[in-house]
Amino acid sequence: MTLSMDISFTNKNNFMEKVNMRILSLLSILITLGYSNLAVAQDCSQIVESNDAMQFDLKEMRVSADCKNMTVTLKHVGNLPQQFMGHNWVLSNTADMMPLSGASMQAGAPNYLPEGDSRIIAATDMIGGGQETSVTFDMSSLDPSGDYSYFCTFPGHYAIMKGKFIIE
Ligand SMILES: [Cu+2]
C-alpha cells in the first residue's frame, strides 16, 4: 500500500515536471518572439561605413518615426589617415547641406565643422581609416515629412558622400 502510493506520487511528479517543461519552453518561445518584434519596431540605431574611395555604403537611411533617440555609428573601413581621407556623418535639412559644407570648409582642419551652427542637427567626430565613432541625437524635433540629408563635411566629399535621411 505504502509502496504503490509512493510510485503514484513519483509518477505524478514526473508528469508535472513534463508539463512545467512544456510551459517553460512555450514561454521562452513567446518571449523570444516578443523581443524580436520589439527590436524590429524600434531599431533606433544605424551603422554606416565609409572608405578610402570617398563613399558611404548607404545611399539613404530609413528610420522609424517611433524612435525618440537615434544612434548612428560611422565606421571608416579604409586605411588613409584623417588629414587626407577624413570622414564624418552630419545631418541637416537638405536645403542646408551646401551652405553648411561651405561653412565647414571655412571652419577648417581637423574637424571641418562650424561648432554651434544651428543648421547641424547631428554630427559625429571626423575620423580616419580604421576608426569608428557614433552620435546619439533627439529625433523629437524632426518633422517626419521633412527633407533631411546626411553628408561628410571633409572638403569636397559631400558631392559624393551624401544620402537622404528618411523618417517613416
Ligand atoms: Cu568624407
For the chain, which residues make up each domain, given as ranges?
A: 1-41, 45-167
Beta pairing class for 162-167 and 148-151? antiparallel
Of 154, 1, 156, whose CA–CA distance to 76 is shortest?
A: 154
**How far, in Å, is the centroid of ligand 1 from the Cα of 162?**
9
Of 139, 164, 142, 167, whose CA–CA distance to 58 is shortest?
A: 164
**How far, in Å, is the centroid of ligand 1 from the Cα of 132?**
13
| Contacts by residues 20-26 (CB-CB < 8 Å, ≥ 24 positions apart) | none
pLDDT at 28 over 70: no
**How far, in Å, is the centroid of ligand 1 from the Cα of 74?**
11
| Contacts by residues 36-44 (CB-CB < 8 Å, ≥ 24 positions apart) | 41/66, 42/66, 42/67, 44/68, 44/69, 44/70, 44/71, 44/139
Q: What is the mean pLDDT of the chain?
A: 86
pLDDT at 43 (0 to 100)? 82
pLDDT at 55 (0 to 100)? 98
CA angle 84, 102, 148 (to 5 degrees): 100
**How far, in Å, is the centroid of ligand 1 from the Cα of 164?**
16
Q: pLDDT category, 150, cuts 50, 70, 90? A: very high
pLDDT at 27 (0 to 100)? 47
**How far, in Å, is the centroid of ligand 1 from the Cα of 131?**
13
CATH ID of 45-167, from 3.40.50.1780, 2.60.40.420, 3.30.950.10, 3.30.70.120: 2.60.40.420
Instruction: Tell whether pTM > 0.85.
Output: no
**How far, in Å, is the centroid of ligand 1 from the Cα of 42?**
29
Give CA–CA dist 168/55, Å, rounded. Answer: 25
| Cβ atoms of residues 155 and 112 within 8 Å | yes
